[in-house]
Amino acid sequence: MKLVIAGDHASPALKRALVHHLRGRGHQVEDLGTDGESSVDYPDYAALACRAVLDGQAERAVLICGTGIGIGIAANKIPGIRCGIAHSVDTGRLAWEHNRAQVLAIGARVLDSRTATAVVDAWLDAKADEGPRHQNRIAKIAALENPACSTASKPC
């Protein structure tokens, strides 16, 4: 699978470990930075990685900040992106199975390297649940990108 990985100044050590692991599993991985610990803004790296997914340069993206929350929120602001924020193997797996989250956000300050690797592997190895329940929900998530739906008093 072709992947991109990006993160802020909290990410370099974990990002390097994940890149090494994922390449060892046969994935093509492009590291979009950052590589240093000088403060940078995670929305910039979320946008860079998500655009690579939307443009077809990668099938999926892994994002890393301190908790995974900020970079995940930023990713979810980009139309067409579904980013799951995962802190366990189960949440990583379910991000793909139930939500087809093509982007996964994790936290370098809340997950050790071994756990983060297991979370990302679970997400990549998960099989999508093709049932109508999840398909309908994904369609409703996509509909929320329509400004009329996001402010409606009833679901679109």
Q: Is 50 a catalytic residue?
A: no
**Among the listed residues 104, 142, 145, 141, the one whose alpha carbon sits nearest the alpha carbon of residue 122:** 104
Determine the Cα–Cα distance for residues 21 and 89; give it in Å rounded to an integer. Answer: 16
From the candidates 50, 65, 83, 87, give the one annotated as an active-site residue. 65
Q: Indicate if 65 belongs to the active site.
A: yes
97 three-state secondary structure: helix
2 contacts: CB under 8 Å, gap ≥ 6: 27, 28, 30, 57, 58, 59
Q: Which of 98, 134, 149, 156 is catalytic?
A: 98
Catalytic residues: 65, 98
